[in-house]
Amino acid sequence: MKPSLDTYAELLKQGSIVAFPTETVYGLGASAWNPLAIGRVFETKKRPADNPLIVHVSSIAMLNEFVEEIPDNARLLMQKFWPGPLTLIFKKKKKVLDLISGGLDTVAIRMPNHPVALRLIDLAGPLVAPSANTSGRPSPTRPDHVRDDFGNSLPVIDCGHCEIGLESTVLDLTSDVPEILRPGFITPNAIAQQTGIHVIMAVHKPDEAPKSPGVKYSHYSPDAAVRWMNTDEPAVNRDTLYLLHDNIPGVGQSTARMIHFYGDYRRMGRELYDWFRKADHEGYSNIAIEPFNTDNPDELIATLKNRIDKATSAQ
């Protein structure tokens, strides 16, 4: 018999860490007011101390505990996209732990769009929840991914595969012009269309303290070497898993080591990290990914390219 959400919430209140599902990836949850529990998150993940955490809330009342003020553009964004895969960066209240913010005067917050996550936060209070994987590894989109990295001793709330499979968009509202620090499922065009707010893509400087996770360090990398394939190379290497998003002439149908997404970028986002981990389980040495066509207007491509570039840079 599976433990109830009340049991998991009690564990969190007592300072334990618990992996739980969101619509994006599984998060490694700890009470946002407990420095010892947050320290366990960093220790368990082997996460750099200057890499900020995202606070997950289930209500605007919880948000108000962390932020100095809620700007008008934030209210509009929350109305359109919360709960959902959009993280907003605010000026923080002084009581917010430096462990969360990486010592900065800002805090990143989102409201996940998953009924179990929202209910758990209702019961346990606001949670920090970085992805429930060892730092640098592919983010977990299934409970088994969490167990791959941490074994069976870490409590995991099993709700199957995550719906989106890519981490949230992170939007900084403290800059003069709102900046996307990490691309995600919520794209600049979607923001402009639904709110009239125009945002720009931030350029991170290496000597700058990161305001968002997923900016400064290498991420998302399996043991297999991830690379962009040459479009004219034959997909014949038996030690290579091929991920193809369009129809490459002469390549043929999907096989066990040749996965076609046929232009379905939502499916590719949902399955990307799963295929990264499957490659390791099945003994592939390499993962070759078809480059994206720069003329393709699908905005999710920027997010997929960001994650794949991060994985290739970690090799």
pLDDT in tens, the chain (315 residues): 678 999 999 999 999 999 999 999 999 999 999 999 999 999 999 988 888 999 999 999 999 999 999 999 999 999 999 999 999 999 999 999 999 999 999 999 999 999 999 999 999 999 999 999 999 899 999 999 999 999 999 999 999 999 999 999 999 999 989 999 999 999 999 999 999 999 999 886 666 666 666 555 566 889 999 999 886 777 678 899 999 987 555 555 556 788 989 889 999 999 999 999 999 999 999 999 999 988 888 989 999 999 999 999 765
> From the CB of residue 123, how many other CB atoms can be counted at a distance below 10 Å?
17
Q: Is the pTM of this model over 0.85?
A: yes
SS3 86: strand
Q: 210: which DSSP letter?
A: P
Domain residue ranges of the chain, discontinuous segments joined by +: 5-201, 225-313
DSSP letter at 111? -
Cα torsion angle, 273, 90, 129, 37, sign: positive
Model confidence pLDDT, tens digit, residues 49-65:
888 999 999 999 999 99
Helices (H), 151-283: 188-195, 265-281
Q: What is the pLDDT of residues 138-187, one digit of tens each?
A: 999 999 999 999 999 999 999 999 999 999 999 999 998 999 999 999 99
**Helical H runs in the chain?**
5-13, 35-45, 60-64, 72-81, 98-101, 115-124, 143-150, 188-195, 265-281, 300-313
Q: CA 198: distance to chain centroid?
A: 23
Task: Determine whether domain 5-201 maps to CATH 3.90.1260.10.
Answer: no
Rounded to an integer, what distance in angstroms lies between the CA atom of residue 294 and that of residue 281? 32
